[in-house]
Every structure is written in structure tokens, then in C-alpha cells.
Amino acid sequence: MRVLVLAGGLSSERNVSLSSGFRIAQTLREMGDEAALIDVFFGLEDYPGLDREDLYAAPLPARWQRVDPAAPDLDAVRALRADKSRCQFGPGVLELCREADVVFLALHGSNGEDGRVQAAFDLLGVPYTGSGYLGSALAMDKDLTKRLVSHLVQTPRWSTVRYTAGDVDALVRSTPLPCVVKPVDAGSSIGVSIARDADQLRAALLGGLAYGGRCVLEQYIQGREIQVGVLDGQALPPIEIIPKTGFYDYANKYQPGAAEEVCPAPISPELDRRLRQDTLTVFHALGLSAYSRADFIVDSAGVPWFLEINTLPGMTPTSLLPQEAQAVGVDYGALCRRILQLAIQERG
């Protein structure tokens, strides 16, 4: 099978995406597939002088293997592309996608997980992995997700605000504390802050201006961080994340050894069933398909609070979905193969 692994792009999660893409492409090659890895934004610029046919045998860029500790400077990324067009697809990308048997989407965040790439591929007739354009768009927007599922599962109280620097003081006065400040459409905990007092909330809101000044202000629930994957309509064993310091932020997610991950999570059978059922409830309510991962906080009373769901969960060396799949005997290679099979069945 000829598989084009698409990663990178202009998302704040670009470095995570490149690491996911590297591991996916490397694994597919080890299993005998023809697999090429390309950055959706730079396209063939990363392979100067290389014929498109030779891309499937080209060495994988080693610099993409691990996630950098800091999120990328996207203005600096834009400046590096020789092709200065406004197109989000780099040189040769769409041609490569149309020539492949299937595109494995290793994209995370905006410009990849938000439905726009999926919609373009639907129009072009390109088979791709993961959920379709509408479910992807709904799940990427934390506010829309909560509006659609808050009557079905327990979720923290929230409000969504669009603001400028001039609105910050009024928001600080009116927002109940403690709260969690989240960009509406970012992932990997980028831009997420826990505000326990007015000064922390002010700093979080000012920081949120860098992400467009549209944030979810969410009731803070203290408890255990547990996530549940879905593969082919079945909920996987819940996994508990225990950061060594702070909460499960960007650094704790992608730096080896920064958090302890326990799978299956040490929870009661009743809580296990509830978490899996809530995950599938959200999965179906948003019209998702193939695979995903839902995030929960379980409070001291044992109540699971749904936070969000990811339609293209990470596939890096520290990512959670592969660990959950491994717990039911599905190793990383088999997981990649099943995701590809689902794409071919639905869109091939």
C-alpha cells in the first residue's frame, strides 16, 4: 500500500504532529508499506531536487522524531517557506495526496484537525484517516462540543468569551474562581492555564490574546486526569495521567518521564464502564468515526467530568492512545494498520 503521511502545518501543535508523523511513517515502512512523510505546509521544499516517486524511499527527517519542549513560533515557520503563496498546502502536496492510495493524517490542531483539510480531500476524492470534516470541526471547537453534549454527559460549567485587552479587567471581576482558561480551538494544552486568583486570571487572559482572544472559561474541577480512547467504535481501557509537577500541560505531555501513565487506570469497574460509555456517547453525538481520545477529570466523589475529545490523537512515543491500544493487545503497528483499514473501508 502506498501511504502518504501528512504532518506539520501551521498549527501550534506542529512539532507534535511531526513527531507523530515520523513514528507512523517509520512503522509503516517497517511493516512493508510504501510510506512517505511530508509537511503539509512546506511540501516538496523539504526534499529539494527529489522526484516525487523517490519520496517513498527518502530518509525520514530525523529532526522530526522528538517533540521540541516549546511550542513553535509560527511566524518564523511561515518566513522559512520559499513559496510565499497564501495556500496552506505546500508545493506538490495535493498532487502527492491524489497519487497515494490513502493519506494518513498525522496533523494536530488547526489546519488539520479542524475539518478543513478533510473537506478539501472529500472534494478531491482523496481517502484519508480519521473522522470526516463536520465531526472534526465540531470536536475542535470546545464551546460547540460542550453545547452539543452537556445534556448527555457531565461537563464543568463554562462560558466562552471573545475579548480584547480592554475587556480583561471586566472579565477578571466577573469570572468565578478558580477556573481553567483555554483557547477555544487549540490542543495539546497549549495556552491552557489554571487561574486560582485574580492575578493569575489576568495573566491567563492576556496570554490568551496570542490565540485570538477567544477562550473558554471553565469551572476548575480538582481530581484525577483520565483519558479514554476509541478504536473502530470500541472504547479502549482508560488511562490515568499523573504529572510529576503541575498539571498535564504541553511539557508534561511530550517530554519523556515528565508524567506517569497507568493503563488500565486503577479504577472501579463501575467507573470504568461510566467513562467508556460517556466517551462513546460524545463520540456518536459528534458523528465521529475511526478513532479518537476523550479527556476527563474524575473528582474526589468519583464523578467523571468530560472536558474535550480529540479526533486525531497523538501518535508520538509518549502519546496515550497507543498505550491504551497496547493494553488490549494491539501494538503500534497493528494500530496504524487498523486506522488505515478503516479509512479504506469508509473512503477508499
Cell 517513498 belongs to which residue?
56
Give the per-residue pLDDT at 256.
Answer: 57
The answer to whether the CB of 8 falls within 8 A of the CB of 21 is: yes
Give the per-residue pLDDT at 248.
Answer: 45
CATH superfamily of 158-219: ATP-grasp fold, A domain (3.30.1490.20)
At the top level of CATH, the class of 140-153+222-331 is alpha beta
- Which tens digit of pLDDT belongs to each residue from 92-101? 999 999 999 9
The radius of gyration computed from the CA coordinates of the chain, to the nearest angstrom, equals 20
Q: Which residues of the chain have pLDDT under 50?
A: 188, 248-254
Provide the residue ranges of all domains of the chain, joining segments of one domain with +: 2-128, 140-153+222-331, 158-219
d(CA 338, CA 328): 14
pTM: 0.92
d(CA 213, CA 207): 9
Give the per-residue pLDDT at 187.
Answer: 53
Q: Where are the alpha helices (DSSP H) in 101-184?
A: 116-124, 133-140, 142-149, 168-174
Q: Give the other-Cβ count within 10 Å of 199's Cβ.
A: 10
Give the per-residue pLDDT at 252.
Answer: 45
The answer to whether the CB of 225 falls within 8 A of the CB of 261 is: no
Q: DSSP state, 128?
A: B
Give the per-residue pLDDT at 243.
Answer: 81
CATH code of domain 2-128: 3.40.50.20
Give the per-residue pLDDT at 162.
Answer: 94
